[in-house]
Amino acid sequence: MDSKRLAEFPLGMAAACMVACAVASFAPSSLLASTAVEDGFTSVLLPDGDAAKPGNSVATVRQGTDVYYWVRWKDHAPGHASLRCLITDGPGGEALVDETQTTDDSDAEGLTFCGLDTTGDFEPGTYYFAQYLDDEKIGERSIEVESRFTQKMTLRREIRYGVGLLALAILGIGWVQKKRGQRGKAALPVAIGTRVNAPAPMAAAPAPRDDAAEELRKCGLQYQSLLAQADKKPALEVGRRYLGLLLKARKEPEALEVFKACVALDAGFRPERAEDVLPLAKAARASGDAQSAVACLRGFDKVYPGSPLIPEVYVFSARLMAEDLRNPEMARKILEHVVQKYPGHYVAQEAKKYLQSMPAA
């Protein structure tokens, strides 16, 4: 199949997981048996022309990481086809996800993805993925989803968890003492941290949903799916919103990767909001990618006319020119422009001091 055509597999919810399968191509029912050329797991989908490809190879993932099972197959004649994605919690276990997508446009070979989102209350464990093409199994593998708490904790987190464990230990000791004091009385069920003979507690209300995190997750899935389609305009539009949500969540490195991917598709791509530009440019500079910082800043005053951030962007651009791109002449021109055009702005003083620190032309 022409791997440049990629359709979106619908989302399906099972327990605490969300599934998204991006289908690079389908094959139809025929007398030929489909053959899996290779398969594996990835946690990153990268654009590949009009399609998508695995960005890495993983054997395990941690909670909170998207994971995609991919299969590259061949030996099907073009025509109507269906792809089924099945995810279970064990061999022959309960089906957490069982979704099927059909198409009328397919080729003899292709690349399919079956994805799993492990955020929220997702339970760690071993999960089994299988893909069926026209009811014929073309691939099956399992992957271990590890608990996020197996990651190395910072000192602050270690202290917090240590205090929590100490509190549980104290409550446990109190419970044991109460049990000993009730010797000779009828045994009553006692919950740690509750009063003996207290009324049975009501069921705890579900924890409030983090709407911002949920919005970010859904927008990310939509962006990844649209990237795989032939028409990139919808992906670029969603990419602007996704980039803004990532920056709002203080995920600057991820936002920078989205920006670079969108600029690769459209050199005129810019963030949706003017206030997103400087944080993105600073993240690019901090990572040593001065060219991406320049791409983000280019034409700021024309893309966002009248923005109060224009003087700040000018001064940051001057520093970028002088310190990273070794172009002090251009930096000097930008700073002199700021001093002349924005004399009352607070960055004008910064521009003057920087001009004085620069070697004479």
User: For the segment 245-292, what is each residue's pLDDT rounded down to a tens digit?
Assistant: 999 999 999 999 999 999 999 999 999 999 999 999 999 999 999 999
CATH 2.60.40.10 assigned to 7-148: yes
Residue 187 confidence (pLDDT): 43
Residue 36 confidence (pLDDT): 82
- In this predicted model, what pLDDT tens digit does every residue of 112-147 receive, in sequence order? 888 887 776 678 889 999 999 888 898 999 999 888
pLDDT of 351 above 80? yes
- In this predicted model, what pLDDT tens digit does every residue of 36-69 receive, in sequence order? 889 999 888 777 766 678 888 889 888 877 888 9
DSSP string, 276-306: GHHHHHHHHHHTT-HHHHHHHHTTHHHHSTT
pTM over 0.75: no
pLDDT of 193 above 50? no
Residue 164 confidence (pLDDT): 56
Structural domain boundaries in the chain: 7-148
Cα distances (Å, whole numbers) of residue 223 to 46, 114, 173: 11, 16, 51
- In this predicted model, what pLDDT tens digit does every residue of 314-327 receive, in sequence order? 999 999 999 999 99
CA distance 37 to 49: 21
Closest CA to 300 of 283, 280, 322, 328: 280
